[in-house]
């Protein structure tokens, strides 16, 4: 690929540490005041940022070389349980009604979205609309009361060296704050034809996707989305979608349900030094027209293949990506005047911007359909149980009066398996009632079902423990899909 680095979208797998550099000339007392002000600002912004966890159906793995290709890559056998996996990301509230911005790749294909707020409260989320190309999605929660909302900032005013800080959910650890500077502007990492990313050394990792990048006034100047690294961890090369682009997409999604971009019907590419030399240009500038669609606005306006577009309206785009963004952001029906170089002469060509044909745009930008797993919850939850032998009870260090039930098998792809239960675990309580026999476990499960609960909670002592002691596990009772 010509790059040794790999580009990663910041997604998959609580104390906030903030290190913002102060100027060397600031006196100690003044530095304390500045630090206190920043801490107060950050504490005020924490309620606007959310952690997002999702459940997705992973596509089936391709057939290994040499194995018979008996199943289509898109059609697993009907009796094969889907591979359901959980992922984490971030987001931020933009409207008190419960509207949240995140990256599209965070909620792409998610059949279950859980939004966790800084106070620990959790709500179910629903994707309202999204743009795959822009990597922006809108998620809605119903809180029953107004939510604190973040405010957009002006990314166009950012300069290299400006201080910024990021909030998000790296590696699913919980709400975390990191700080740094704007390292570069207008980065093109070839994620889309419109790339105009802000590079920052504020530490962002997997799970930060969709989280906000704030300026020192507490305004959202970008949406964290991608890292470039030779490993899967951060090496200080983080990239975020500027607020100018993100806000345009969000406004379009809120108003129309899709990105209704301006369109003139042409293909452009950058003027490289070689192209400039071949065309007798003093220096490479502008974007050269490579194709004009028949009956499109550009064709009707008189634009021709080989024209070099130097200016769009009152702006001189820095590259072809800036030109495409300017066209896309132009309100449908507005007229823009192009300054064009043709045959060593400069011409002014007015063009009326049309709406990008929706069927064509959605062929490239429409979100992928959500695959809902067809998982019926069996009466036994996928668990096989047995009485706990006295020897095993002693090995586990359980006191004489503590009872439990041994898990002898956990069905693959069952809800208990997804939540980490395994053979050798011991169930100590069901719905906070001690259990001593498998029958008592199933009685507790049946009682929870009779109460029309979606979950039953069990206190489980894992056979393999990262930390000492048992833990509570909620297990799904209701069917996940009909």
Range in 308-312, 459-463, 464-468 the model is least confident about: 464-468
Please pick, among 209, 234, 245, 414, the residue that the annotation labels catalytic. Answer: 209
| Average pLDDT over every residue of 429-448 | 94
| CATH T-level topology, domain 1-61+78-257+358-371 | Thrombin, subunit H (2.40.10)
Predicted pLDDT of residue 32: 52
Predicted pLDDT of residue 82: 58
Going from N- to C-terminal start, the domains of the chain cover 1-61+78-257+358-371, 262-355, 383-476
**Is residue 482 over pLDDT 70?**
no
**Is residue 4 over pLDDT 50?**
no
pLDDT in tens, 122-135: 999 999 999 998 99
Decide which of 1.20.1200.10, 3.40.640.10, 2.30.42.10, 1.20.58.220 is the CATH code for 383-476. 2.30.42.10
Reply yes or no on whether 105 is catalytic. Answer: yes
pTM (2 decimals)? 0.72
Three-state secondary structure of the chain: CCCCCEEEECCCCCCCCCCCCCCCCCCHHHHHHHHHHHHHHHHHHHHHEEEEEEEEEECCCCCCCCCCCCCCCCCCCCCCCCEEEEEEEEEEEEECCCEEEECHHHHCCEEEEEEECCCCCEEEEEEEEEECCCCEEEEEECCCCCCCCCEECCHHHCCCCCEEEEEECHHHCCCEEEEEEEEEEEECCCCCCCCCEEEECCCCCCCCCCCEEEECCCEEEEEEEEEEECCCCCCCCEEEEEHHHHHHHHHHHHHHCCCCCEECCEEEEECCHHHHHHCCCCCCCCEEEEEECCCCHHHHHCCCCCCEEEEECCECCCCHHHHHHHHHHCCCCCEEEEEEEECCEEEEEEEECEECCHHHHHHHHCCCCCCCCCCCCCCCCCEEEEECCHHHHHHCCCCCCCCCEEEEEECCCCHHHHCCCCCCCEEEEECCEECCCHHHHHHHHHHHHHCCCCEEEEEEECCCCCCCCCEEEEEECCCCCC
**Is residue 189 over pLDDT 90?**
no
pLDDT in tens, 40-79: 999 999 999 999 999 888 766 554 444 443 333 344 444 4
Q: What is the average pLDDT value for the chain, to the nearest integer?
A: 83
Confidence of residue 14 (pLDDT cuts 50, 70, 90): very low
Reply yes or no on whether 206 is catalytic. Answer: no
| Average pLDDT over every residue of 438-458 | 92
Residues 262-355: name the CATH superfamily: PDZ domain (2.30.42.10)
Confidence of residue 356 (pLDDT cuts 50, 70, 90): confident
Please pick, among 53, 118, 129, 135, the residue that the annotation labels catalytic. Answer: 135
pLDDT above 70 covers a percentage of the chain that reads: 84
Domain 262-355 identical in fold to domain 383-476:
yes
**Is residue 16 over pLDDT 50?**
no
Please pick, among 105, 131, 319, 365, the residue that the annotation labels catalytic. Answer: 105
Predicted pLDDT of residue 190: 67
Reply yes or no on whether 7 is catalytic. Answer: no
**Is residue 1 over pLDDT 70?**
no
């Amino acid at each position: 690929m010509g790059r040794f680095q790999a580009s990663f979208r910041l997604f998959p797998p609580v104390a906030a540490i903030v290190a913002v550099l102060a100027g060397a000339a600031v006196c100690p007392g003044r530095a304390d005041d500045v630090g206190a002000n920043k801490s107060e600002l950050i504490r005020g912004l924490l309620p606007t940022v959310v952690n997002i966890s999702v459940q997705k159906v992973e596509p089936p793995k391709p057939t290994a070389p040499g194995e018979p290709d008996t199943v289509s890559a898109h059609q697993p056998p009907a009796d094969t349980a889907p591979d359901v996996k959980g992922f984490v990301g971030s987001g931020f509230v933009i409207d008190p009604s419960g509207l949240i911005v995140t990256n599209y790749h965070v909620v792409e294909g998610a059949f279950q979205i859980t939004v966790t707020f800084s106070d620990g409260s959790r709500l179910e989320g629903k994707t309202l609309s999204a743009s795959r190309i822009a990597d922006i999605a809108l998620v809605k929660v119903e809180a029953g009361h107004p939510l604190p909302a973040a405010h957009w900032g002006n990314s166009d005013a950012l300069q290299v060296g400006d201080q910024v800080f990021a909030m998000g959910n790296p590696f699913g650890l919980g709400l975390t704050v990191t700080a740094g500077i704007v390292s570069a502007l207008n980065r093109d990492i070839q994620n889309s034809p419109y790339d105009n990313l802000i590079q920052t050394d504020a530490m962002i990792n997997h799970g930060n996707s969709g989280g906000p990048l704030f300026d020192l006034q507490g305004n959202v100047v970008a949406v964290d989305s991608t890292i470039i690294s030779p490993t899967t961890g951060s090496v200080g090369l983080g990239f975020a979608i500027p607020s100018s682009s993100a806000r345009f997409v969000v406004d379009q999604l809120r108003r129309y349900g899709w990105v209704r971009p301006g369109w003139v019907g042409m293909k452009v590419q950058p003027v490289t030094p070689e192209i400039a030399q071949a065309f007798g240009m003093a220096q490479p500038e502008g974007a050269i027209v490579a194709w004009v669609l028949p009956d499109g606005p550009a064709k009707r306006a008189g634009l021709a293949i080989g024209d070099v577009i130097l200016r769009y309206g009152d702006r001189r785009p820095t590259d072809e990506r800036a030109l495409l963004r300017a066209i896309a952001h132009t309100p449908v029906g507005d007229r823009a005047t192009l300054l064009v170089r043709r045959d060593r002469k400069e011409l002014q060509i007015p063009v009326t911007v049309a709406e990008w044909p929706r069927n064509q745009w959605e062929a490239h930008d429409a979100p992928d359909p959500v695959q809902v797993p067809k998982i019926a919850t069996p009466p036994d939850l996928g668990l096989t149980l047995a009485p706990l032998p006295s020897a095993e009870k002693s090995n586990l260090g359980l006191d004489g009066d503590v009872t439990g039930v041994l898990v002898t098998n956990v069905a693959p792809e069952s809800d208990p398996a997804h939540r980490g239960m395994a053979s050798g675990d011991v169930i100590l309580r069901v719905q906070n009632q001690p259990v001593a026999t498998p029958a008592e476990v199933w009685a507790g499960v049946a009682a929870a079902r009779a109460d029309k609960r979606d979950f039953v909670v069990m206190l489980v002592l894992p056979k393999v423990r990262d930390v000492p002691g048992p833990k509570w596990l909620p297990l799904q009772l209701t069917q996940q899909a009909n």
